[in-house]
A and B are shown apart, each in its own frame.
Chain A
Amino acid sequence: MFKPVRLLPNKTNFDFLGKRRLALVLSTILNIASIAMVFVVGLNFGIDFQGGIAIEAKSLKGDADLAETRRIGSGLGLGEVSLQEFGAKDTILIRIQRQKGDEACVANASRLLTKAMGNGWSMKPVADTQSGNLELTAPGRISDDQAAKAAAAVGLPENLVRSGTSPATVALEQDQRDEWCQQVGILVAKDALASAYDFRRTESVGPKVGGELLHTGIISVGLVLLAIAIYVWMRFEWQFGVAALIALVHDVLTTVGLFAITQLEFNLTALAALLTIAGYSINDTVVVFDRVRENLRRYKRLSLVELLNVSTNETLARTLMTSGTVFLAVLALVLFAGPVLYSFSIAMLWGVIVGTYSSIWIANASLVYMHFRPDRVRPDDDEKEKTRITDVEVRP
């Protein structure tokens, strides 16, 4: 059998809080840089948050020809089309910007219509500006079957394309047209690439849903931070709650900054990572705080900085070990979980590291600057603590 390996000596005596100014300067720079990067460079929002189309496609023969595909993509009239290799050489992720329900989109749909139904079939926006109505022109009377086929060709609900005389009016609201144009975008892209690619995954998020997801995303991050701070405040003193909140905001902000710098896609799973980081990075902080509270009763004469130092050193092994286990688990995700979870895993990895750092320096240092003084400790607490320890010790 083997003996347990210890990463740290039994007792450490690092002067963490002595370096608090250095840590504060470093963190302030990190945070300001993060905010600046978000505003200057911006986040690479996935389609979840800004709407648009994402298609994961696998080349039918050999590696994907990125240059050729890019050339085709930019000539589609779908606005910005970005391509990237996705996990393997023969697989690409095509991202197409959110389609507007404008004339360009209707022109695309018209081309699809002509291709599917033959010459003489076309569509154009109705001139009045109020609605999103379309006008569908056919070479002759539109039969039931033709109406159904035409609707399918351009991705419209079948009941909107009426059989009968040509031209027929397709009644759409402007916002319905905006949503419909995402489907047109998919059809156009697939039509152009079908000869070279097999489509493995297709996603489209319309403007309505995209806006809502970003909105609820921001709200949920705020709520999580607030809820955790309130919890810590209730379990400890209000200063601890504020310190925890500062550390949390620090972790979340720098993670967002990481997304801005690396331009990793910020999507729904990245948001999940952000929320998990908020929930998890507080764990180490709580362990330190728990010890601080205990030591406040035990050591009456120590200055606050010394007390925080002692507490941090006493819990250092814990902090490193708990972060270590999660770090290993997340590392496995980064290495093996595949491209879909890549943003998530990288963010989590960063979160674990920065969470550990912020527990040791940021949360504690904040306590120092709030001139934290325990008001609940009574002079006789020292005695009580002693009796309690002897109490346990006399037991067999």
Chain B
Amino acid sequence: MLTLPRWQNWTITGIVLLSLLLALPNLLPTAVLNYLPQWYAANIISLGLDLRGGAHLLFDVDVRSVVRQRLTDLSDSIRTELRKQQLQVREIASDGTSLTVSLRDAADAARIADIIRNLESGLLDVTTVAPTTLRVAYTQQELTRRRQQVLDQSIEVVRKRVDETGTKEPTIQRQGDERVLVQVPGVENPDDLIKLISTTAKMEFRLEGVGATILRPTKEGWDAVWPELAKSERWQKESNKTLIAEEICRRQATACMPVSRRVVVSGEELTDAQATFDQQTNRPIVSFRFTTSGGRAFCRATTDNINKPLAIVLDERVISAPVIQSAICGGSGIITGSFTSQQTNDLALQLRSGALPATLTVIERRTVGADLGADAIRAGTIAAVVGTALVVLFMFLSYGPTFGGFANLAMAVNLLMVFAGMSVLGASLTLPGIAGLVLTVGMAVDSNVLIYERVREEQSLGRSAMSALTAGYERAMSAIIDANLTTLIAGVLMFGFGSGPIKGFATTLSLGLLTSMFSSTIFTRMVLAQWMRWRRPRELVI
């Protein structure tokens, strides 16, 4: 039978109404939206960069150089350690992925291998490739962990920097193993942004108030004054952090602390910082490590200034000022305090993010001007309206006002559902996405065509109106499902493999096909059943 059970009718009506509700904010003018609650009105489809203008930048994170630097540091420590133990090696060479240690005496091989292994226990693979040659490399696990960390850290740094520009709705995403994707709407000339992103932040360790001092804002002070300051035009474009810091301290000296003019160690000497736990007290701490020269300078400064605060200055603001408990001479140390583990994580990240952990190279760049975006919206809208109008007209002419009308109604419901779906998924609409929408308009009515043609056929075999309709729905179903699923296969694979513009297209196409299976078959079936009950035609004009 054509007629569906009552609960199904209610469910179908419910789905359509829900879609209308979800899609409505996209269709209402802003004047009306302003009267609606924010949580509802904000639920609109965002436009892609090609429609609103903006920059799409794909950065390659140079993880190799991080590994290489680490190997260089390692070869330094191996030399130092072996000298301490009075063992000799001929040469330590690095090829960027491993170290080759050439020994003078094959008899030392086992002992030296042990010493090296213990330098970073558990992280190093030491193999004997020849009697007097050792190969030292980081374990695969350690390399993976390191890569992950470098990427996370890069993303964090990039995010922080983009956020500070006050750009609205930036997208910063990891892509693959060593890439960061940055999408910033509204930015037409990304050169400044690229510069900002790839700039190294300046980190310094300074003693508090020793000798000649300067004022530097505390983190809280900066956060309190900067938002106000950033509103004025003069400061908006200012990228010189020193000037900004001085201005903040001029306006509100109480938010600042005096630090020594002399820099104890600069951030470039810091090789690592990690949030961990104190083994005795089990409290969250931050451990850090310096290069050899940095360690030496740090040792001197801490020996002379026990019980005095040491200011950690990042981009001219004091992010922390722990008190020196004892001389720190091993090249590494810890920062203790009443931290939560969240705070130690943040601090470690900030210490590390003093510098980008690796060089970021732009490998893909796409920028669209806002007026070009506006042109694209106009062109896309015209194409969509004309395409829809042509299809609507075609359906009316081919199947008459009643059946053509129902098919067109179903297509409208389908568009509504696509809008609703995109709002819910938070997908953004791109120009290829509009093309996908136009295509779904043409494809959505295909299901109705299949049903109607079957009805025509059944009716010409001499069936009654009701029986022809019922048979039409039932027998067209398998072809409809097959046809939609095959196209959907293409859509889903496109989404999985495609990048950028293809994704936007695949989204609207796949979504449109999925919803059309509902609107063109189930929804029209309900409408037609009601219509049949109302009109009770003997013969269908189709």
Which residues of A are at the interface with B, using a C-beta cutoff of 8 A?
Answer: 1-7, 10, 56, 148, 151-152, 155, 157-160, 171, 173, 176, 179-180, 182-183, 186, 198-206, 208-209, 213, 216-217, 219-220, 223-224, 227-228, 231-232, 235, 268-269, 271-272, 275-276, 278-280, 282-283, 286-287, 290, 314-315, 317-318, 321-322, 324-333, 335-338, 340-341, 344-345, 348, 392-393, 395-396
Contact = CB atoms under 8 A, between A and B. Distances in A.
Nearest to B393: A328
Contacts of A280: 443, 487, 490
Contacts of A208: 60, 363
A288 B150 CA distance: 56
Given A4-B399, A314-B457, A179 B390 contact: no
Interface stretch (B106-114, B247-255, B433-441, B522-530): B433-441
Nearest to B488: A279
Nearest to B372: A200
Contact of B363 (A179, A278, A330): A179
B36 interface: no
B360 interface: yes
A327 to B, nearest CB: 8
Of A176, A199, A227, A336, the most chain B CB neighbours within 10 A belong to: A336
A322 B490 contact: no
29 contacts: A3-B541, A10-B456, A152-B195, A158-B195, A173-B64, A176-B60, A179-B362, A180-B362, A206-B363, A209-B364, A228-B489, A271-B498, A272-B502, A276-B490, A287-B479, A290-B479, A318-B450, A318-B453, A328-B394, A329-B439, A332-B383, A332-B387, A332-B390, A333-B435, A336-B382, A337-B379, A338-B431, A340-B431, A392-B471
B444 to A, nearest CB: 9
Contacts of A219: 497
Contacts of B505: 269, 272, 276
Contact of A5 (B386, B397, B500, B502): B397
Interface in B433-474: 434-435, 438-439, 441-443, 445-446, 449-450, 453, 456-457, 460, 463, 466-467, 470-471
Contacts of B388: 329
Given A275-B494, A337-B431, A344-B432, 9 more contacts: A182-B362, A183-B362, A204-B364, A219-B497, A231-B486, A272-B502, A279-B490, A314-B457, A330-B438
A216 B497 contact: yes
Contacts of B542: 4
B30 interface: no
A61 B300 CA distance: 66
Given A268-B500, A329-B442, A338 B483 contact: no
Interface of B: 50, 58, 60, 62, 64-65, 191, 194-195, 198-200, 355-356, 359-369, 371-372, 375-376, 379-380, 382-384, 386-388, 390-391, 394-395, 397-401, 403-404, 431-432, 434-435, 438-439, 441-443, 445-446, 449-450, 453, 456-457, 460, 463, 466-467, 470-471, 478-479, 482-483, 485-491, 493-494, 496-502, 505-506, 509, 541-542
Nearest to B356: A159
A268 B450 CA distance: 32
Contacts of A4: 397-400, 403-404, 541-542
A85 B355 CA distance: 45
Nearest to B471: A392
Contacts of A327: 442
A220 B491 CA distance: 11
B439 A330 contact: yes
A286 B60 contact: no
5 smallest CB-CB distances across A and B, nearest first, come from A279-B490, A329-B442, A332-B387, A338-B379, A157-B198
Nearest to B375: A338
Contacts of B383: 332-333, 335-338
A291 to B, nearest CB: 8
Contacts of B384: 332
Given A4-B397, A338-B380, A345 B435 contact: yes
Contacts of A171: 65
